[in-house]
Structure 1
Amino acid sequence: MIRLEGVTRRYQSRAGERVALDSVDLHVERGQIFGVVGRSGAGKSTLIRTINRLETPDGGKVFVGDQEITALNPAQLRTARRKIGMIFQHFNLLASKTIEDNVAFPLRLEGRPAAEVKTRTTELLARLGLAEHAKKYPHQLSGGQKQRVGIARALACGPDVLLCDEATSALDPETTEDILGLLEQLNRELGLTIVMITHQMEVVRRVCDRVAVLKDGRIVEQGDTVDVFLRPQHPVTQAMLAESDDGFDDASVPANARVARLVFQGTSTYEPELSRVARTVGVDYSILSGRIARIRGVPCGQLVVAFTDGDADAALKQLAERGVGVETVGGR
């Protein structure tokens, strides 16, 4: 649905040239929720804004569907953008317009008949739980309600693609969960392809099918969310995940212990694999940290374990044979 080929974007400043995107290649399949994560300044917002050409690349090509967005003239681009909705971190609503008028705004810009505008606006307000707020103004709504208005406005012209630029960063955790659930529902019911730019690893863990990690304008890692989260390869990914997870204190590691990270996936997440192997081999262990969660609906668990007395090598070998991911992270 979305394809970037060698996309480069540079900016000039008094300090010299800054490369925001450096030969980026990216493929997003139709109907996916695709996450792009990275530190501040990694180029995330520039990347998402090249998809609807709010930013025009200095090099490379961008395709949405069967159209090369980078080859369109202004009139063609306006038409193409009707199929690419976008929502923002700070909502970008028109303060002097009612909620109803904010949602209707893109339809009126297109010159749609008044009856069609009214019908479509009423339908969207009802769908997003905003019908009772139609005559209110943005300042009268909560952050979550404002973001729902932003989503309704982005859906007004019936897009195939929805771009989300840090769409939950300004929201509290409970409201974030509500908005993510709504985006999942829209993805499922409307077949929307969604691209989410975020620095919140929990957002990616919760809703994204695939993820790309951006650093200094380059994609340093990408893949299925489950694989990237459970088996991160690049130091940037590992560091961002470590910050979002409960780590363990090196000082808590028993002397002469063998420390390993164990990764469980699917139904084995809830099985007592570790205790079974420990009894079979005859090894003592301490759990230093752990987490059980769902990554895009798949049960997953990670434990950092210190093996002390007994044959740690034999225990780790048996765990691996039983389908548990094993990575030695320290100790003897």
Structure 2
Amino acid sequence: MIRLQGVTRRYKSRAGERVALDNVDLTVGKGEIFGVVGRSGAGKSTLIRTINRLETPDEGRIFVGGVEITGLDGAALRSARRGIGMIFQHFNLLSSKTIEDNVAFPLRLEGRPAAEVKARTAQLLEQLGLAEHAKKYPKQLSGGQKQRVGIARALACEPQVLLCDEATSALDPETTEDILTLLDGLNRDLGLTIVLITHQMEVVRRVCDRVAVLKDGKIVEQGATADVFLRPQHPVTQAMVAEGEDDLDPTTVPAGATLARLTFRGQGTFDPELSRVARSVGVDYSILSGRISRIRGEPCGQLLVAFTGGDAEKAMTELGQRGVIVDALDVATLAKGAR
């Protein structure tokens, strides 16, 4: 649905030239929820704004729905943008317009017949749980309700693609979950392709099928969300995934222990494989840290284990044979941010 080839975007200022995007190649499949993460200044917002040509790249080509939009201008570009909705961190609603007028705004810009505008607006307000707020103004709504209005407006022209630029960053955790559930449902029910820019790793974990990590305008890592979260390869990804996790004091590791990170995926996450292997091999172990959760609905878990006594190598080999991903570690890797 979306393809970027060698996209580069530069900005010039008195301080010199800054490269916001550096030869970016990216493909987003039809019906995917694709996340883009990175630190502040990594180029996330610039990337998403090139997809609908709010930013024009200096080099490279961009295709949306099979159409190269980098070569479009004027009426052709406006027509292509109708297939690309966008929602923003701070909602960007018209404060002097009612909720129904905000949602109807893009339809009126297109010159749709009044009856069609009224029917489509009413449908969207009902679909997004906003019907009772139709005559209110943005200042009368909560943050989550305002974001729902933004989503309804973005969907007004029935786009194939929905771009979300930090759409949950201004919301509290409960409201964030509500908006993510809504986006997940729209993706499933309407077949929407969603590109989601965020610095919130839990947002990516919750809804994204795949994810790309940006650093200094370059994609340093990308793949299926579970793969990137459970076995991050680049130091930037490792640090972002590790944030929010408890640090482990290396002095608490038993003397002479063999350390390993055990990764479980799928329904096998809930099987007692570690206990079975420990009994079979005759090895003792201590769980130093761990987490069981879901990534895009897939059960997964990781345990940091210290094996003591018995044949630790044999235990790790047998765990691997049972489908557990085993990564041998040493105490040095337990430092802050190590994965």
TM-score strictly above 0.5: yes
Q: Is the 8 A contact 1:274 1:319 kept in 2?
A: yes
Deviations 1:85-131 (A, max 9, x none): 00000101111111011001111111111111110000000000000
Q: Provide the C-alpha distance between the structure 1 equivalents of 2:296 and 2:244, rounded to a whole number of angstroms.
A: 16
For residue 240 of structure 1, what is the aligned residue in structure 2?
A: 240
Q: Could you say what secondary structure the match of 2:61 adopts?
A: strand
Q: CA deviation at 1:246?
A: 3.7
Q: CA deviation at 1:49?
A: 0.3
Q: Is the 8 A contact 1:258 1:331 kept in 2?
A: no
Residue correspondence of structure 1 range 1-332 to structure 2 within 5 A: 1-331=1-331
Q: Is the 8 A contact 1:256 1:331 kept in 2?
A: no
Does 241-250 or 53-62 show the bigger shift? 241-250
Q: Please, what is the CA RMSD of the aligned residues?
A: 1.1
Q: Is the 8 A contact 2:168 2:176 kept in 1?
A: yes
Q: Which AA in structure 1 matches 2:130?
A: L
Q: Is the 8 A contact 2:87 2:151 kept in 1?
A: yes
Deviations 1:252-303 (A, max 9, x none): 2122221111000011100111111111111111111111111111100100
Q: Which AA in structure 2 matches 1:2?
A: I
Does 25-34 or 283-292 show the bigger shift? 283-292
Q: CA deviation at 1:331?
A: 4.4
Does 48-57 or 9-18 show the bigger shift? 9-18
Q: Is the 8 A contact 1:201 1:244 kept in 2?
A: no
Deviations 1:61-88 (A, max 9, x none): 0000121110001211111100000000
Q: Provide the C-alpha distance between the structure 2 equivalents of 1:95 and 1:125, rounded to a whole number of angstroms.
A: 17
Q: Is the 8 A contact 2:232 2:238 kept in 1?
A: yes
Q: TM-score, normalised by structure 2?
A: 0.96
Q: Provide the C-alpha distance between the structure 2 equivalents of 1:290 and 1:89, rounded to a whole number of angstroms.
A: 33
Q: Provide the C-alpha distance between the structure 2 equivalents of 1:250 and 1:138, rounded to a whole number of angstroms.
A: 52
Deviations 1:138-170 (A, max 9, x none): 111011000000000000001000000000111
Does 8-17 or 81-90 show the bigger shift? 8-17
Q: Provide the C-alpha distance between the structure 2 equivalents of 1:252 and 1:83, rounded to a whole number of angstroms.
A: 56
Q: Could you say what secondary structure the match of 1:30 adopts?
A: coil
Q: Which AA in structure 2 matches 1:175?
A: T
Q: Which AA in structure 1 matches 2:31?
A: G
Q: Is the 8 A contact 1:99 1:138 kept in 2?
A: yes
Q: Could you say what secondary structure the match of 1:34 adopts?
A: strand
Q: Which AA in structure 1 matches 2:228?
A: V
Gaps of 5+ in 2: 333-339
Q: Provide the C-alpha distance between the structure 2 equivalents of 1:243 and 1:257, rounded to a whole number of angstroms.
A: 26
Identical amino acids, percent of aligned pairs: 79
Q: CA deviation at 1:245?
A: 3.3
Q: Which AA in structure 2 matches 1:310?
A: G
Q: Is the 8 A contact 2:250 2:331 kept in 1?
A: no
Q: Could you say what secondary structure the match of 1:169 adopts?
A: coil
Q: CA deviation at 1:247?
A: 4.1
Q: Which AA in structure 1 matches 2:73?
A: N
Deviations 1:185-214 (A, max 9, x none): 100111100000011111111111111111
Q: Provide the C-alpha distance between the structure 2 equivalents of 1:251 and 1:83, rounded to a whole number of angstroms.
A: 57
Q: CA deviation at 1:328?
A: 1.5
Q: Which AA in structure 1 matches 2:327?
A: E
